[in-house]
A = this chain, B = another copy of it.
Amino acid sequence: MDTTQLLKGVLDLAVLAVLKDEDGYGYDILRRLRTAGLEEVGDASVYGTLRRLFQAGLLNTYVVPSEEGPHRKYYGLNAAGRDQLNRAGKTWRGFASTMDALLDERGVAA
Protein backbone atom coordinates (compact mmCIF):
# COMPACT_ATOMS: atom_id res chain seq x y z
CA MET A 1 0.00 0.00 0.00
CA ASP A 2 1.47 3.22 -1.18
CA THR A 3 1.81 6.05 1.25
CA THR A 4 1.87 8.17 -1.89
CA GLN A 5 -1.82 7.65 -2.45
CA LEU A 6 -2.62 8.21 1.22
CA LEU A 7 -1.02 11.63 0.99
CA LYS A 8 -3.47 12.79 -1.64
CA GLY A 9 -5.51 15.61 -0.25
CA VAL A 10 -3.69 15.42 3.06
CA LEU A 11 -0.51 17.11 1.99
CA ASP A 12 -2.37 20.40 1.74
CA LEU A 13 -3.43 20.01 5.33
CA ALA A 14 0.02 18.98 6.48
CA VAL A 15 1.67 21.96 4.82
CA LEU A 16 -0.86 24.39 6.26
CA ALA A 17 -0.31 22.84 9.68
CA VAL A 18 3.47 23.17 9.73
CA LEU A 19 3.06 26.80 8.71
CA LYS A 20 0.66 27.58 11.52
CA ASP A 21 3.15 28.74 14.09
CA GLU A 22 5.92 29.98 11.89
CA ASP A 23 6.45 31.05 8.30
CA GLY A 24 8.70 28.83 6.29
CA TYR A 25 10.29 28.30 2.88
CA GLY A 26 9.93 25.24 0.72
CA TYR A 27 13.06 23.38 1.62
CA ASP A 28 12.44 24.00 5.29
CA ILE A 29 8.83 22.90 5.08
CA LEU A 30 10.00 19.71 3.46
CA ARG A 31 12.27 19.08 6.43
CA ARG A 32 9.51 19.83 8.93
CA LEU A 33 7.21 17.35 7.22
CA ARG A 34 9.84 14.65 7.17
CA THR A 35 10.75 15.25 10.77
CA ALA A 36 7.07 14.96 11.65
CA GLY A 37 7.04 11.49 10.20
CA LEU A 38 6.11 12.02 6.56
CA GLU A 39 9.48 10.80 5.40
CA GLU A 40 8.55 9.86 1.88
CA VAL A 41 7.33 13.28 0.80
CA GLY A 42 9.00 14.40 -2.39
CA ASP A 43 10.33 17.91 -2.81
CA ALA A 44 8.41 18.50 -6.01
CA SER A 45 5.20 17.69 -4.15
CA VAL A 46 5.86 20.35 -1.56
CA TYR A 47 6.75 23.04 -4.07
CA GLY A 48 3.70 22.16 -6.10
CA THR A 49 1.46 22.26 -3.06
CA LEU A 50 2.83 25.63 -2.01
CA ARG A 51 2.13 27.04 -5.44
CA ARG A 52 -1.42 25.71 -5.37
CA LEU A 53 -2.14 27.00 -1.89
CA PHE A 54 -0.74 30.38 -2.83
CA GLN A 55 -2.85 30.55 -5.98
CA ALA A 56 -5.87 29.62 -3.89
CA GLY A 57 -5.20 32.72 -1.81
CA LEU A 58 -4.36 30.90 1.40
CA LEU A 59 -0.75 31.97 1.72
CA ASN A 60 1.35 35.09 1.68
CA THR A 61 4.79 34.97 0.21
CA TYR A 62 7.98 36.99 0.27
CA VAL A 63 11.55 36.42 -0.78
CA VAL A 64 14.42 36.68 1.64
CA PRO A 65 18.01 36.59 0.40
CA SER A 66 20.16 34.24 2.41
CA GLU A 67 23.79 34.75 3.28
CA GLU A 68 24.49 31.05 3.31
CA GLY A 69 23.00 29.86 0.08
CA PRO A 70 20.35 30.65 -2.52
CA HIS A 71 17.47 32.99 -1.79
CA ARG A 72 14.51 31.67 0.17
CA LYS A 73 10.90 32.08 -0.75
CA TYR A 74 8.97 32.26 2.46
CA TYR A 75 5.31 31.38 2.83
CA GLY A 76 2.95 32.19 5.67
CA LEU A 77 -0.71 31.64 6.48
CA ASN A 78 -3.12 34.50 6.00
CA ALA A 79 -6.64 34.65 7.46
CA ALA A 80 -8.08 32.47 4.71
CA GLY A 81 -5.28 29.99 5.24
CA ARG A 82 -5.93 29.70 8.96
CA ASP A 83 -9.60 29.21 8.18
CA GLN A 84 -8.87 26.51 5.69
CA LEU A 85 -6.50 24.84 8.12
CA ASN A 86 -9.26 24.53 10.67
CA ARG A 87 -11.80 23.29 8.19
CA ALA A 88 -9.45 20.77 6.62
CA GLY A 89 -8.38 19.64 10.07
CA LYS A 90 -11.96 18.89 11.05
CA THR A 91 -12.62 17.12 7.78
CA TRP A 92 -9.56 14.98 8.33
CA ARG A 93 -10.44 14.11 11.92
CA GLY A 94 -13.92 13.13 10.84
CA PHE A 95 -12.71 11.07 7.96
CA ALA A 96 -10.04 9.35 10.00
CA SER A 97 -12.42 8.38 12.77
CA THR A 98 -14.89 7.03 10.23
CA MET A 99 -12.17 4.83 8.83
CA ASP A 100 -10.98 3.79 12.28
CA ALA A 101 -14.49 2.79 13.26
CA LEU A 102 -14.90 0.83 10.05
CA LEU A 103 -11.68 -1.07 10.75
CA ASP A 104 -12.31 -1.51 14.46
CA GLU A 105 -15.74 -3.02 13.94
CA ARG A 106 -14.17 -5.68 11.81
CA GLY A 107 -11.11 -6.17 13.95
CA VAL A 108 -8.62 -5.13 11.30
CA ALA A 109 -4.92 -4.73 12.08
CA ALA A 110 -3.32 -3.65 15.29
Contact = CB atoms under 8 A, between A and B. Distances in A.
A63 interface: no
A96 B100 contact: yes
Interface residues of A, number: 43
A101 B8 contact: no
A110 interface: yes
A6 B95 contact: yes
Contacts of A89: 103, 108-110
Interface in A1-58: 1-6, 8-10, 12-14, 17-18, 20-21, 36-38
A86 interface: yes
Interface of A: 1-6, 8-10, 12-14, 17-18, 20-21, 36-38, 84-93, 95-96, 98-103, 105-110
